[in-house]
Structure 1
Amino acid sequence: PVSSSLYGSRFLTGRLGGSITHRCFYTPTPANKHERKYWCKMAASGVCYTIISSSSHALSEYRGRVALGDAPQDGTFTVTMAGLRSSDAGTYRCGIGSTNDGLYVSLNLTVLPDATMARPTQLIRGELHGSVTVLCPSGDTQGDKKRFWCKVGRSSCALIASSDGYVDRRHQGRILITPQESSGAFRVLINALKKEDSGLYLCGTQGLRGQDSPQEVVLQVATASTIPRRPKFFSGTVGGSLSFQCHHDPKGTYEKKYVCRWEGGSCPVLLDDEGFVLESYKGRIQISSSDPERGTYAVVLRQLREEDAGWYWCGASSGHAELTAPLKLLIHKG
């Protein structure tokens, strides 16, 4: 039986005479890998007529201008339609199954005389309890627009985090939108990944005149994880001290390992393994021991204060990617 989830873009725009390429992402279970993949177009009668599938040739009027390619090892299949006509506009389904009513995603194709090409959808894979780094290209190099990350639902995109400090309740302590680089690009860091984080997202910038063309991102969280569930809560007493362990991949190479204080969607670094300590924490925080072979280092925070309570991240930088994990400190009065 076909199982689990299927993701793909909900809207496509193509240029008259041009072509579109649409990617459908599915969970690469053995059943899904071998099942029929299809691309069909909805008729007014409510029937979805197969245009092409992995088990049949293209419908005669589309022959020579439509192709379907399946990459089961990646959990994706791609449909390309060329020589677009205005009559190609309409509602399509990309799906998996022996009929056209099984597992599918519906999308609308608009065909315009002069359309700009959208960026291809990014596929990001993460592991349960692990972390991911999403690179969001942006046309905005001024840096004065709001950066956002939202999850696409049936009718709208639910805001999860934005650069003005908003973070939705379910993502407290586990998402961060970085400042923009000179190119206008920024990154979204998400950790403590859950199965329900899988889905289709948009990231981009939003000015007074609305959104610039956002980047579509499909996040797939693999449930077979090598990352153990680690303690997230640590408690201490005012005036006392507490210690916690940070973990990273012992086989990985990292330019920097650090601890930062997460608050309202930003995370200023408190200390790193190159000797930096934030001025207001000098004499109170240090890396007490490090075991690179096991991929761990211990951090001690002394002279605890009530205001130390809250979220912290352990981080390790590797190129554009950040390996991060959250923890929360609970501080009791003596």
Structure 2
Amino acid sequence: PVSSSLFGSRFLAGELGGSITHQCFYSPTPANKHGRKYWCKVAANGLCYTIVSSGSPAWGEHRGRVALGDAPQNGSFAVTMTGLRSSDAGTYRCGIGSTNGGLYVSLNLTVRAEATVARPTQLIRGERHGSVTVLCPSGDTHGDQKRFWCKVGRSSCALIASSNGYVDRRYQGRILITPQESSGAFRVLINDLKKEDSGLYLCGTQGPRGRDSEQEVVLQMATASALPRRPKFLSGTVGGSLSFQCPHDPEGTYEKKYVCRWRGGSCPVLLDDEGFVLGPYEGRMRMSGGAERGTYAVVLRRLREEDAGWYWCGARSGHTELTASLKLLIHKG
């Protein structure tokens, strides 16, 4: 059966006489790191015949054309096929195990006279309770196209968030798709990461003619995390005040630290460390050094009922942002 700890593209396209490289990403557990890696082709009888595996070179018509390289420290292995023939088209599996029926992911290879080369899959590593930034390139600079982020399943890509405000209920308060930059690129920010966030994703833009310039992304969650679990909810009373700690990397250098209000997939900035405070928060919200190393503190005074909701802390460094989310619950006095 397909396991959630092995990920890779589901479709590959190559040119006659050309080459393809396919990457398989796996959870870097000791068993996976030291296990046999294999690449097999599914035959008409349903059996998957080994083409190449770690420790044994390709044989038959694939001899000298197919190679497998394992990088256990990265949790990935790559299969390269050269001198592509039309007979190479078909269904393949990349997997781990002593047999070809254990841990694997299936993919379909098409071989054409001409094929466009897909972007290489982007590997992002995350830790439980932490955050990640995904950079999604785009060939389209027209702002009227919908930006999306979806998770690849067995037969479709389940939409998680899009720039029209849709956010899947499991991601409420913890995902943000940023506006497009002048290049057409945009970023997907996710925080409060969970073990089940591991997987293969697609991001890109979607216009009237369908999806455009898709990017495959593998999110690989660390098997162990040194990050502390932070409170998700904080309660306050109307007229009272509350404070919360925002995490950042004490070794990092940041251009900006900020607090924003998350609503329906957008997050307008309320406060930053350059002195900006949004009108309704003037005199009520401020930022200061944190009580512990690697944090900064945010204080919100004279609480109002409408202050209830999701807030994000952010620290920006280049294209990368370290973010954390928190939901405020406001009670009447």
TM-score when scaled to structure 2? 0.97
Q: Distance in 1 between matches of 2:144 and 2:291?
A: 41
Q: CA deviation at 1:222?
A: 1.1
The number of residues matched between the two structures is 331
Unaligned runs of 5+ in 1: none
Q: Distance in 2 between matches of 1:273 and 1:282?
A: 14
**Kept after mapping to 1: 8 A contact 2:121/2:215:** yes
Q: Does 1:319 align with 2:318?
A: yes
Q: Does 1:6 align with 2:3?
A: no
Q: CA deviation at 1:147?
A: 0.2
- Cα deviation code 1:236-291 (max 9, x no counterpart): 1112221111121211111111111000111111001111111232111111x304
Q: Which residue pairs with 1:308 in the alignment?
A: 307
Q: CA deviation at 1:4?
A: 6.5
Q: How does 1:12-91 map to 2 (within 5 A)?
A: 12-91=12-91
**Kept after mapping to 2: 8 A contact 1:148/1:161:** yes
> Equivalent residue of 1:327, what SS?
strand
Q: How does 1:201-280 map to 2 (within 5 A)?
A: 201-280=201-280
Q: Which residue pairs with 1:197 in the alignment?
A: 197
> Equivalent residue of 2:57, what SS?
coil
- Cα deviation code 1:89-120 (max 9, x no counterpart): 10000001111111000000011111100000
> Equivalent residue of 1:266, what SS?
coil
Q: Distance in 2 between matches of 1:34 and 1:238?
A: 57
Q: Distance in 2 between matches of 1:295 and 1:123?
A: 26
> Equivalent residue of 1:142, what SS?
coil
> Equivalent residue of 2:196, what SS?
helix
- Cα deviation code 1:148-197 (max 9, x no counterpart): 00000111100000000000000000000000011111000000000000
Unaligned runs of 5+ in 2: none
Q: Which residue pairs with 1:169 in the alignment?
A: 169
Q: Distance in 2 between matches of 1:292 and 1:85?
A: 63
4+ runs deviating over 6 angstroms: none
> Equivalent residue of 1:252, what SS?
coil
Amino acid across the alignment from 1:264: G
Q: Distance in 2 between matches of 1:291 and 1:309?
A: 23
> Equivalent residue of 1:214, what SS?
strand
Q: Distance in 2 between matches of 1:4 and 1:284?
A: 46
Q: CA deviation at 1:55?
A: 2.3
> Equivalent residue of 1:326, what SS?
strand
TM-score when scaled to structure 1? 0.97
**Kept after mapping to 2: 8 A contact 1:250/1:292:** no
Amino acid across the alignment from 1:153: G
Q: Percent identity?
A: 84
Q: Cα RMSD between the aligned structures?
A: 1.3
Q: Which residue pairs with 2:120 in the alignment?
A: 120
- Cα deviation code 1:6-30 (max 9, x no counterpart): 1000011111111111000011111
**Kept after mapping to 2: 8 A contact 1:250/1:293:** no
